[in-house]
Structure 1
């Protein structure tokens, strides 16, 4: 426990001309200085000792006011003013300025050397620091142990007990996940602090710690540190945030989890019956059919895969999610499609997530690849029509036309793009053409979606025109190319 300004005044029997103001502030160190501006050498929380030899050389009242203002801005705990050398008592302008800023002033008589105060207080602070280090180690150990059995709620409860104050864990939208010792007003303040609404906070001194990614945390830990336990609270809360990150998502600690999810998605789309059955059993998908959803973000700065994983967690869905290039693939149980579509619409329309989603029809797990092809077509419609979610089942005309074409008609429909298939083994030109047409011939949007410069996209479209004889500037040619692309997706040519 750190000594407060009031404790020091009582220990050395010092007069406090500023009254009770600021006596509850903890003292973290003592510092002696006669500089008019000692703040560059201060870190906050110090008891600053001075005889005032250099403060009032010019204009006393203005100099004292400026001096106190600098100390208050540097968050000095208190000012110890020595009398009997330059000043017979603490100057009234200095007392008035200190009272205005809520800074306590201790009057130190000439019979008490500054060295006695610094020796005793700093020695006690060093011993207190060692004791605090033990408290931190014990607190971290306790939170680690309880995390294994009680999860996030246990971590927050242990933290609250160790810092002797309340603590709240909230998700990124301000919903309470765990709260200990917090009344309704505290929850409101914690939510305002977590969401950055500082003007609405009634409880001063709240501290927010991000859980997970520091740029885009998945949750917020809000604590109300006691004035005498600020450093202890800071250390324990930082460790609690790390433990909460692991407790909320124990498999988020590296690429292994992402690789496992991607491998599971690839296995389900492999068509290998035995492999599909094993993966389905492990991911609890044997109960029914599944559908594939494809999502794309119009902003490359948005971590869409993280959003999708959060939505799966909220809906209690298996996190069968993988990301490749600009697409995120999700495999969904048949009976969860309604909730999934509603969640994506909410994210796009209310939370501002710039995403589009296409959903294929439900199929047995072994036919997931067909659902994915359908999801690709639905996604293109969602992008073209600026709709949050489009289901392939909502596109009866296109589905019927493509499914009932005979081989000769399909070959005729896809023939304009055969030169691309024959001369572009990487399908770079084909994909660039698809994105360009789905973005309504918008060069900027298409090049951003592809992650290339618009001049590079123009060069690719020039190569497409050269190989196919079609012009992307002619409406009729664009329609021919678009129909050919749809036919290729419904029944790809090897």
Structure 2
């Protein structure tokens, strides 16, 4: 109830505001008659004080002090019955109240205080009952909205029911729903304040959303009345339950996804109709081409509780990035490893960059480990082959670095890895051997390596014209995709030819 509402009651039709311009929007929570000495001792904020002035002093200075004492206790308004003990409201008291914006009201003596108190309290009770009834209706509407599983529907329902802007915010203060919302920095600061109760923000009310003891964000609504506060609290509870259901669903889906990805990685995927349907539901294309990627966490084994939590955060971030890039979140975890499948169209570098940004924003750590990935292969069999390939790369994963199969091929070959040696030889010699005149091309490269890539000397050793040599070199570059004037390519050719000679 506001003071203006009080003045609109029939029982107060003859009341008069003594000092114009005071705040008539002040809230009235209770009406109380006080006619005892030291009346200010019985005054509390937002109380409508009714008095005959029986115990008021008569000296101007004492009246001024009385008015100042009353104003300090911040009543909603002070009502004086006139004329009897005072012919009019003392200007000393009215002026002191008006200085604080508190209305001073004159009420005719023949209007019973009991009637004023009764009318005021009936209005307050009706208003409170209306608020309770509306808040219950809003709570039911919010509960129905939650069945859609969308936070946006909860915010839209809250806004529609109140006729005011409303928004759901994350823990950083950013809006999770469309429409008007407070400044993220101010919202984050308000959420960080201790306690779980409503707090004012940007002309409205912010209620934190608590989930399992953790503050996950908040509900903001324009306005700070009882209805707005109650409705925001209802919405915060509904949002917390919705988030809890979403988290539990994500955990179940992740576990189902882990099991499915494990069957692919371990070569246990069957081609029956049930497996095919499950693959389609989870977003795996049995005819598609995928790279197997591995995030090796910088966490010692066996994992500590913090290590397990770190692994789950890393896996969650990988799922988010894959989803944002339009790829199915095909992820699995084991020990300190996070495995995932990348469709050939998705750049490993882009996944790595986005994931690092997320880790840095969440934990202040640009990466919880190093990432390696293999070559693109087709189908379920290709995934199993890719896992075996990537397992050999795990030892080369360095914290904060992204490394491909090709980047670690030479170190692996030099360390005696037979598979790496065969891949290195095959990557350079196989395209030549499959081409017409391939043996002549290999002989040409061998002559170049033996002469330090001195073309005239190599041509003389081969007994061919210089133009013929350059033609053969162009064909070698076209078939392998590697320029022969690159020092790294020349080193690779020398190593590949040496390894090929050992296995001949």
- What TM-score does the superposition give when structure 2 sets the normalisation length? 0.58
Measure, in 2, the Cα distance between the counterparts of 1:59 and 1:296.
Answer: 77
Name the residue aligned to 2:141. Answer: 142
**Can you give the 5+ residue segments of structure 1 that lack an aligned partner in the other structure?**
383-388, 409-494
Shift of 1:38: 4.8
Name the residue aligned to 2:502. Answer: none
Shift of 1:247: 5.4
Shift of 1:224: 0.8
Q: 1:330 to 1:247 in 2, by over 3 A?
A: farther
**Can you give the 5+ residue segments of structure 2 that lack an aligned partner in the other structure?**
192-199, 300-304, 376-381, 419-504
Give the alignment of 1:145-160 within 5 angstroms.
145-148=144-147, 151-160=150-159
Shift of 1:23: 1.5
Match of 1:344 among 319, 338, 355: 355
Shift of 1:167: 1.8
The answer to whether structure 1 residue 268 and structure 2 residue 261 are counterparts is yes
Measure, in 2, the Cα distance between the counterparts of 1:155 and 1:353.
Answer: 32
- What TM-score does the superposition give when structure 1 sets the normalisation length? 0.59
Cα RMSD of the aligned pairs, angstroms, is 4.7
Measure, in 1, the Cα distance between the counterparts of 2:105 and 2:189.
Answer: 37
**Contact 2:262 / 2:332 at 8 angstroms: preserved in 1?**
no
**Contact 1:262 / 1:323 at 8 angstroms: preserved in 2?**
no
Match of 1:359 among 371, 394, 402: 371
Measure, in 1, the Cα distance between the counterparts of 2:332 and 2:54.
Answer: 69
Measure, in 1, the Cα distance between the counterparts of 2:118 and 2:328.
Answer: 62
Measure, in 2, the Cα distance between the counterparts of 1:293 and 1:329.
Answer: 5
Measure, in 1, the Cα distance between the counterparts of 2:308 and 2:104.
Answer: 52
Measure, in 1, the Cα distance between the counterparts of 2:308 and 2:52.
Answer: 57
Give the alignment of 1:89-238 within 5 angstroms.
89-148=88-147, 151-173=150-172, 175-180=174-179, 182=180, 187=181, 189-196=182-189, 205-211=203-209, 213=211, 217-225=215-223, 230-238=225-233
Shift of 1:390: 1.8
Name the residue aligned to 2:234. Answer: 239
Measure, in 2, the Cα distance between the counterparts of 1:37 and 1:231.
Answer: 28
Name the residue aligned to 1:430. Answer: none
Encode CA deviations 1:300-321: one digit per residue, 9 max, x unaligned: 6998656864774475365566
Encode CA deviations 1:17-52: one digit per residue, 9 max, x unaligned: 34343223443443455653457xx5x654344567
Q: 1:349 to 1:110 in 2, by over 3 A?
A: same
Aligned positions, number: 374
Shift of 1:95: 3.4
Give the alignment of 1:469-484 within 5 angstroms.
none
Measure, in 1, the Cα distance between the counterparts of 2:106 and 2:391.
Answer: 79
The answer to whether structure 1 residue 69 and structure 2 residue 72 are counterparts is yes
Encode CA deviations 1:135-173: one digit per residue, 9 max, x unaligned: 222222333334445933333232222212222334445
**Contact 2:296 / 2:337 at 8 angstroms: preserved in 1?**
yes
Rg (Cα) greater in structure: 2
Measure, in 1, the Cα distance between the counterparts of 2:282 and 2:340.
Answer: 11
Measure, in 2, the Cα distance between the counterparts of 1:296 and 1:87.
Answer: 84
Name the residue aligned to 2:22. Answer: 21
Measure, in 2, the Cα distance between the counterparts of 1:86 and 1:330.
Answer: 88
Q: 1:5 to 1:179 in 2, by over 3 A?
A: farther
Shift of 1:246: 5.5
SS in 2 for 1:111: coil
Q: 1:36 to 1:168 in 2, by over 3 A?
A: same
SS in 2 for 1:196: helix
Match of 1:289 among 288, 291, 294: 291
Shift of 1:361: 0.9
**Contact 2:49 / 2:77 at 8 angstroms: preserved in 1?**
yes
**Contact 1:375 / 1:392 at 8 angstroms: preserved in 2?**
no
